[in-house]
Amino acid sequence: MATRRPPRRVIPDLLAPGLRVVFCGINPGRMSAAARLHFANPRNDFWRLLHAAGFTPRLMTPAEQRELTGHGCGITNSAHRATAGSGDLRRGDFAGAAERLARLAADLRPALIAFVGKEAYRGAFGERPSLGLQERRLGDTRLFVLPSTSPANAAVPWAERLRWFQELRALASRARS
Average pLDDT, the chain: 87
How many angstroms separate the CA atoms of 122 and 27, rounded?
12
Evaluate whether residue 8 is within a structural domain. Answer: no
Residue 97 sits in a domain whose CATH number is 3.40.470.10
| Pairing between β-strand 132-138 and β-strand 21-25 as defined by DSSP bridges | unpaired
Kindly provide the b/e burial profile for residues 43-76, where b requires at least 16 CB atoms within 10 angstroms of the residue's own CB: ebbbbbbbebbebbeeebebeebeebbebbbbbb
Evaluate whether residue 49 is within a structural domain. Answer: yes
Cβ-contact 27, 92 below 8 angstroms:
no
Who's near 8: CB < 8 A, 6+ residues apart?
A: 80
Confidence at 137, pLDDT banded by 50, 70, 90: very high
The tally of domains found in the chain comes to: 1
How many angstroms separate the CA atoms of 165 and 161, rounded?
6
Residues of the chain above pLDDT 90, percent: 63
Evaluate whether residue 11 is within a structural domain. Answer: no
Q: Which domain holds residue 54?
A: 21-175
Evaluate whether residue 160 is within a structural domain. Answer: yes
Check whether 138 has a pLDDT greater than 50. Answer: yes
Q: What is the pLDDT of residues 81-112, one digit of tens each?
A: 555 565 665 676 667 789 999 999 999 999 99
